[in-house]
Chains A and B, each alone.
Chain A
Amino acid sequence: MSTQSFFSSKEEGLQSLSPVVSARNLWKSFPGVEALKDVSLDVFPGEIHAILGENGAGKSTLLKILYGIYVPDRGDLFFEGRKAVITSPQDAVKNGLVLVSQVPQLIDTLTIAENLSLSLRQFGYVSSVKKVSKFLLEKGKEYGVKIDPDIEVWKLSYTQKQLVEVLRALLLNAKVIAFDEATTLLPHAEKEKLYAFMRLFKSKGGTVLLVTHKIPEAMEVSDRITVLRRGEIVGTVKTSETTIDQVRHMMFGERLSQLNSGRYEKLSREGSETLVVEDLWIRSDYGAYAVRGVSFSVSRGEILGIAGVTGNGQLELIQTLAGLRRAEKGKIRLRIDGSEINITNKGSTLIRRLGIGYIPDEPVKKGISLDNTIEENIVVHPQLSRLLINWNKVKNLTSDLVREFNIVTPSTSSRAKVLSGGNLMKVLVARELTVSKLALVAYNPTRGLDEVSARYVRKLIVSKAINEGMCAVIASEDLDEIMEISDVIAVMNSGSIVGVFRSGVSREEIEKVMVG
C-alpha cells in the first residue's frame, strides 16, 4: 500500500467547509531531534479528529504548537481562515482552542468553582465564583455530568478532575477541545463517559482534537484520523472507510512485522520458589490497611500478574516488595541458591542489590531524572556502578540499550528531557530489566507506550523469565496485558487476593472476580 493513497480519501463534503484550525508547513526542532517536518493539518468544524502516532512521532509537539506552548521554527497557523500568531495558551484560548491535558491543572485546596474562576481570570475574563457555579450547574445538566461546584478539588477522583477540565473548556467558550492523551490513565468505564461527552459536544457543533497513541480509541470515537510518524504526516483517513490494519500500517510502517504474534510460547516451568510472601499486611498513606493478609509464591521463571480495579492494594503491595513501604505484618522471603533471605522491611538498598528490578507507578516522575543524561539515568542504579564510574562501559551499555529498545534519542549523552514520554519509559524499563537478575516487580510496566513498544517490553519481560529464570510480580490496570504475559493471575479486591487463575482463563471470569 502506498502512502499516496491515504491522501485521496479526504472527503468532498468536508472540503467545502473551511477548516476551524489549520496548520501549514510546520517545522520544529529540539536539540538533536527534528520533531516536526513540514506538517500541515486541517481540522473541520463538527468533527472528532484523532491524531495518532507512536511514542515520539510528534503528536505532543504539534498539539503544543497549536496551544501556544511551543512556537514553530517555520510555518503558519490559521484559525477559521485567519492567520494567527499563537505564542501562549491565552492566544489559543482567544481563538477558541482549549487543551485538556493528561494531568489536570487544578489547585487542590480550592473548590471547583474557585479553580475555574481563577482560570478565567488567567485568560483575561473576569467572572465571580457565583456566576461560575451557576454556569457549571447549567452545563453539567446539559452534558449529563453531576457536579457540585463547591466541593474542594482534593476530594475528587482523577476522572472527576478530568471532567472539571472539560467543563473549564466549555466555560472558556471553546470551539475546539483538544485532548492530549487524556484517556490514557482512565479506567475503561470512565473512558466511555468521556467519549460520550465528545460525541455530545460534536452534536452541538463543537470540534474535538484527540491526540492518542491507541488505535482502538481513535477507531472508536473519531470521524477522521491523521497519522504522524517520525515528525511527518503519513496521511489522513476517514475512520468509517479505514481498517485497524490500514491505520497500523500507517502508524508503524516497516516495524509492523513486530506486532504479529498472538500469545507467547510458554514452557511448563516447575522451578523452585524464588519469592515467597506470607500473610502480608500493609497500610496505605491514609493509615487504613490497603493489603490484608496476602500470601503467594513465585517460582523461578514464573510471572505472576496482579489484576484488579485500581486502588485495591496493588500499588501498596508492589511498593512493599520493592522495599519502599513498610509491611505491618507478614514476611517476604527470597530463596537464592538454596539459602533463604528474609527481606521484609529490610530497605530498598538491600533489596535492589540482591537483583530485584522495580518499575514504579508514575514512572517518569519517580524513575527518571529529566535534567540528567540518559547515561546518568542508567548508571545511577547501584547495581550498575561501584564507586568509580567507567564512562566508556556506561556509554557502551547505554548504546546497546538504546539500540535494543529502539529508543529515539539524538545521543546517549542527551538530557532525558529531550525525549518523548514513551521513550523515557523505555529508558526506565531498559535499566530495570538490566538489573533484574532475580525478580522484577512492576506497576503498569507499559503505561504510556505505543502498541509496538508495549508489546516489545512485554516480550522482553517474558523472554528474560524464560531464558534467565527471572521471576516477576506485575500489577497492571490493563487486563489484556496481565492475560498476555502472566503464568498465574491473582486478582486483588479490597486488599485481598480473591481469585487465582492459571493462564487460559477467560477475560469474563477474571472481570467477574475483580468487581465481585
Chain B
Amino acid sequence: MRLIVVKRVKTSSLHFIGIPVLSILIGLVISTLIFASIGVPPDLFIKEIISGFQSPQTLRYFALLTILGVALMMSFRASIWNIGAEGQMIWGMLAGGYVALFVAARSMYVSPSELPSYASMPGVEVLDASPVKPVISILLMDPTLGKLLMVLFGMLAGGLWALIPALLKAYLDIDEVATTLILNYVAYQLFNHLVSYNLRGLSVQARQFFRTDRMNSALLFNLIPGTSVTVQEAVMAVIFFVAIVLIYRYTTIGLRLKIIGSNPQLLRSVGVDERKYILLAMFLSGMLAGAAGVSISANPGIGKLEKIANVVSPPTMNLGYTAILVSWLSMLDIKLVPIYAYVVASLFQGSSLLQSEINTLLPELSLTGAALTYVPIGSILIVYVVLRVFADYSIRVRR
C-alpha cells in the first residue's frame, strides 16, 4: 500500500474558503503554544488577538495594508519582487511632507509683538509661541487642494524611487530583490539627512532634535471618529482597489502586466516592449506605496517628519515588509487582498495590545513588538502554505 499525490482536476470552492480559515485557526493554536512555552498565559494571548480583530484601531492598518498589499501584488504578479515598499513609502512621506510644509503652507518667524494679530488671522497657526522667536504656519492655498497635491506628489515620488530598480532590471538585468532592499536603507538615510538639515523646522530650537515643523492642521487628514484611520486613507484604499481591479479586468495594460509575469517572451514576440511594462509595474507599485507613506505622516497622530533614531523602527512601521505577507497570503489574487489585509492588520493590532499587556503584567519577559507580531503571522503563513497544497492536490491510497 502506498500514498500517492495526484493533482486535482478542479479546485473546489470549499477549499477556497476553508483553507484560509483553517490556517488562521491552526496558526493561532501554534502561536499560543509557542508563547505558552515562554510563559505567556494562553488566555491572555487569545484574548488580545481576539480584541485585535475587533479593535477600531485595526482599521488604520487595514486601510494601509490594503493599499500596500495591492501595490505589491501588482509587481509580484509581473514577477518583479519589489521588497522596496518601505523606501517608496519614505519618499511618499518626504514629497507629501515637502508640499505640506513648503508649498501648501509655510512656516515663518514673526516678531513677538505681531504674534497676537497673526494668530487671529484665518489659516494661520502658531507653531511656537516663544517670547523670543515665535513661529507660525500660514496656509497658502485651499486645504483640500493642498491635501490633493500632497498625495499626488507623494505618489509621484514613490513611483520615481521605484523606477530606479526597475530601470536597472529592465535595461541592465540587475536583480531587483537586492536593489529594492538596499534602496530602502538608502531612503532611510536620505530621509534622515533631509529631515535634519534641508527640511528641519524653524520651530525646532533644541540642537539635539532633528525634525520638521508640525504640518498646518488644516492639511492633516481627517480622522474617522472613534478610530485612528483617516477618511482620506480609507477612500484611497477603496479607489486604488477598485481601479486596479478594473485595470486588470478590462485593459490591455492589466493583461500585459499579468502576461509579463508568466511569459515576457510572448510580449516581445507580439511586438510589445516588455521592458516598458517592467517600468510600469514598478512605477504603479511605488505610487501606491508613496500614497500609503503620505497618509502615515499626514495622520493627525503624527503630522511631522522626524529623524529615524533606529532603522528597526522607521516611521513606516515596517508595513512595507508586512504587506509582503498580505500579498502572499492572498496568493496574488487581488480580490483576496482586503481579506488578508484585515487578518494581518488584526494580528498586528492584537500583538501591540499584547505587548502593552505583557509590559505591565509580565515585565520580566521583555518581549519586543516584532517577535509578538511575527510569531502569529509566520505560523499562519506556514500552515497556509502547507494546506494550500491540498487545494491543488489530493492524496490517495493505492494498493
Question: Which residues of A come within 8 Å of B, CB atoms?
Answer: 29-31, 71, 73, 85, 87, 322-324, 347-349, 351-353, 358, 360, 365-372, 376-377, 379-382, 385-389, 391
Contact = CB atoms under 8 A, between A and B. Distances in A.
A377 B256 CA distance: 10
Contacts of A85: 2, 4, 398
Given A358-B271, A382-B270, A387-B252, 14 more contacts: A29-B9, A31-B9, A71-B6, A87-B398, A349-B273, A358-B269, A369-B259, A369-B262, A370-B263, A377-B266, A381-B270, A387-B251, A388-B250, A389-B255
A347 B273 contact: yes
B266 A369 contact: yes
B253 interface: yes
Interface string B253-282: 101101101110111111111000000000
Contacts of A73: 6
B271 A30 contact: no
A380 B256 contact: yes
A442 B255 CA distance: 25
A368 B267 CA distance: 9
Contacts of B10: 31
A87 B273 CA distance: 42
A377 B262 CA distance: 11
A366 B251 contact: no
12 contacts: A85-B4, A87-B398, A324-B268, A358-B271, A369-B262, A372-B263, A376-B255, A380-B252, A382-B271, A388-B251, A389-B252, A389-B255
Interface of B: 2, 4-6, 9-10, 250-253, 255-256, 258-259, 261-263, 265-273, 398
B153 to A, nearest CB: 26
Given A85-B2, A385-B252, A387-B253, A370 B262 contact: yes
A372 B271 contact: no
B9 A30 contact: yes
B221 to A, nearest CB: 32
B252 A372 contact: no
Which 5 A-B pairs give the minimum distances between C-beta atoms?
A352-B271, A371-B262, A369-B263, A348-B271, A366-B265
B260 to A, nearest CB: 9
Nearest to A352: B271
A71 B270 CA distance: 36
A329 to B, nearest CB: 23
Contacts of B256: 380
A70 B243 CA distance: 41
Given A348-B271, A372-B259, A382-B272, A367 B266 contact: yes
A376 B236 CA distance: 30
A365 B267 CA distance: 12
A352 B268 CA distance: 11
A356 to B, nearest CB: 9
Contacts of A324: 268-269
Nearest to B272: A382
Contact of A351 (B5, B252, B271, B398): B271
B269 A389 contact: no
Contacts of A371: 261-263
A365 B2 CA distance: 36
A389 B259 CA distance: 15
A87 B4 contact: yes
Contact of B255 (A349, A360, A379): A379
A58 to B, nearest CB: 16
A227 to B, nearest CB: 26
A391 B251 CA distance: 10
A397 to B, nearest CB: 15
A376 B259 contact: yes
A87 B265 contact: no
Contacts of A29: 9
Given A87-B4, A387-B252, A348 B262 contact: no
Contacts of B261: 371
A389 B2 CA distance: 49
A472 B259 CA distance: 28
A389 B251 contact: yes
B256 to A, nearest CB: 7
Contacts of A388: 250-252
B195 to A, nearest CB: 41
Nearest to A363: B269
Contacts of B268: 324, 348, 366
Contacts of A31: 9-10
Nearest to A30: B9
Contacts of A379: 252, 255
A380 B4 contact: no
Contacts of A376: 255, 258-259
